[in-house]
Amino acid sequence: MRFHNDWQAPHVAICKWSQAHVAKSIPRNKLMYKPLSQVPVYGVFCALFLWSFVPQTLLAQDENPEQKIQWSFQKPVRPSVPDRAGLQQGDRVQNPIDAFVLRKLQVQQLAPAPLADKHTLVRRAYFDLLGLPPTPTQVEQFVNDTSDEAWKHLIDVLLKSKQYGERWGRHWLDVARYADSAGFEGDDSYPNAWRYRDYVVKSFNDDKPYDRFVQEQIAGDEIWPDNLDLDPKRVYRVAPNQAVHFEARVGTGFFGFPPRVSESALDARRRHYETLIDWVDTAGSAFMGLTLGCARCHDHKFDAVTQEDYFAMQAIFTSSIEVDVPIMTPMEVQGWSYIYPRIVAVHEAKIAYQVFQQRTSGRQLTDQERAEEKRLRDTIVQKVMELPTKNISVPNTVYDPLVQIPKVTVLGHERPELIKPVHFLDRGELYRQRHQVAPALPAALAQTTGRNKAVPGPFGSRKELALWLTQPDHPLTARVMVNRIWQWHFGRGIVATANDFGANGVAPTHPELLDWLATEFVARGWRIKEMHRLIMTSNTYQMTSRFATEKHQQIDPDNRLLWRMSRRRLEAEALWDSIHATAGTINLKMGGRPVVVPLAADEIAALREKWQWPITGDPAEYTRRGLYILVLRNFRFPMFDVYDAPLNSVSCPQRDVTTVAPQALWSLNSPSVYRQAMQLASRVVKEGGKTPEEWIAKLWMIALARPIRDTEKREALELLDQLATAAASRQVAARGTHETALPPGLAALPAEQASALAKLCLAVYNLSEFAYLD
């Protein structure tokens, strides 16, 4: 049956239902697989009574062969761009995006909001593309640039920044349900998951075409198999610019961190089944924008996806397993096995000599000891000479005494005899098997794209899936991704349900714009940075968020027609980064293992076991970007938790935005925030001048990227005086209970003035303007 959105009450006349109609309306498999004659009569009438309350327009007879294909299953057709001359606000059209948006507004007789000022735009651009606030110097450079190309130039500069990949990589990691642990009670560690995170960051920075990005994650090992030949002449010596980075295979790490119960390893069959469920559901949500999981127990109630389709998708993945492979070329692996024992021998010889020195230090050596010393030195020389010499003809030759080969968790192929066949499961229950299912694409979508749904097996089926998904005319892939890009810029997608493009999802507000963007995305080589330029240079993106009239609020209170820019709260990681960036303490080191930052005493108490949160040894790591903080599934970093970080057990299309008391408690009472407020105060004193007025003006430029208003200056000065007076009366030093030493800029100030300035900075951190993006 199909479902419709018409909920008008039907005219019911049960007495007219014929026995034949009853037999058709209540399928045998819905009544415990019994013939109708064996079903109690009262059960039939109970069913008919309940059936009478279901709207007739909700049901479409299965025997009707002409069922309309839902919009998202149809190939995107490039629409014509509305003519500027036919628009009342035609002068506001910068590119086709504006034309589509203005035509919708014109139908509702709504005027677009004015453009935002340059201070707002520069802050919006920095946070949207980098997730970091602009410095006062960067703000001043943009504001003072009066050229017509200033905005485009700023966008180009930001897109070249390495921080861009960290910002947009974090968006994708939500979709990929990234985590460093398996979740559930055991919460087993995924020690190599971070390599996939770094792969995503690099892919965004490199502006990797999205079709290639999809192919690498689904079937990088099958499309680009490793076929390097060993070169015995080069042994372990590999120049960095010639070393092969197995990015395509690292991309399959997308499947390498599913939520998993530790005890499931005791039942290999169930563990495999649950893994396939995660892989199919996540791939369907991330790349296709479909809720495939709804078809596991029965045919999808809303979309043209059958239960047979679901298990055919599982059959595509059943020959794959997670494997840990060296993140090195075969030449490097061979070199490691050759060189490692020789390196160990050198270290052992050096240790033996060091032990001798400690034993004989402080006294004259005997003749026997001199002979032993010579022997030990000769041994070191001999072992060093046994090491292969560097190839000085190759610049930047790598020579690293590896302790262990670094590895990454990726997809590989199961041995043919161990591949578990996939069966059609009644009600999705593992031990209620019916017939075996072969690998195949969803039938309805395969038909739309004009190809046979069957794919080869057992190996190569993921390759076929990846290549099919990245066909230029695929109905879903480009639409889903441009919708995500739009959502991450505007706060809401053209399709509000970014992971559900099916009939149960929200219909697109601007369907023609969505199709135009999808076809343009493909035409521009699937380049995500090109879409940034297109979206951000539109007037639609550059509108102010501080605009509203009674008419606008009545007709479109949720701003679905885009008559203004929507105000958005920063995500947890962006807020963390913003605090440390404004304080001048942020560590912009990229990549590497997850960072485990110290917790407050009450936060430690929430841990089930303290070993779950092993603090990183290097304090310099504690102020790295939020992207790199350890992501556990059953214990989220407390600050990220209160600011709505995703659960990461399933693909997250969009984060929730809540307003709860713990957010204010963290930003006001957290020792870590107060420490950063003191660092910000120190920065203000060093960069702002010598007077409180200059300090406050600098504070506003650093934290809010705009000049302070006169009323704000008066209020800030009054608050500063009040805080200083209160501190002096209580004889409270600025360090309070949170600091053991003052930052250099504050140490030169009187204690009460330093305390007041630090608390003013803490108050600015708690402004809604600091946490929100206009």
How many CA atoms lie within 13 Å of 34's alpha carbon, on the beta-carbon side?
9
Alpha-carbon distance of 484 to 173, in angstroms, equals: 13
Alpha-carbon distance of 546 to 116, in angstroms, equals: 9
Q: What's residue 332's pLDDT?
A: 55
Q: What's residue 231's pLDDT?
A: 40
Q: What's residue 406's pLDDT?
A: 74
Q: What's residue 399's pLDDT?
A: 42
Q: What's residue 584's pLDDT?
A: 96
Alpha-carbon distance of 294 to 694, in angstroms, equals: 60
Whole-model pTM?
Answer: 0.83
CA pseudo-torsion sign 260, 265, 269, 270: negative
For residues 641 and 729, is the Cβ–Cβ distance under 8 A?
Answer: no
The tokens 């309309």 sit on which residue? Answer: 68
Q: Which amino acid type is present at position 141? A: Q
Q: What's residue 335's pLDDT?
A: 60
pLDDT block averages, 10 residues each, the chain of length 774: 38 40 44 46 53 45 54 96 91 95 96 97 98 98 96 98 98 98 90 95 97 96 64 40 60 94 82 95 97 94 94 95 75 60 82 88 87 91 75 43 67 92 93 93 91 85 96 97 98 97 95 98 98 98 96 96 97 98 97 94 84 90 97 94 94 96 94 95 93 96 97 96 89 49 85 93 97 96
CA pseudo-torsion sign 701, 705, 707, 711: negative
Q: What's residue 361's pLDDT?
A: 84
Annotated domain spans of the chain = 14-67, 89-113+497-569, 209-327+409-469, 330-405, 571-656, 669-773
Q: What's residue 156's pLDDT?
A: 98
Alpha-carbon distance of 756 to 739, in angstroms, equals: 15
For residues 282 and 177, is the Cβ–Cβ distance under 8 A?
Answer: yes
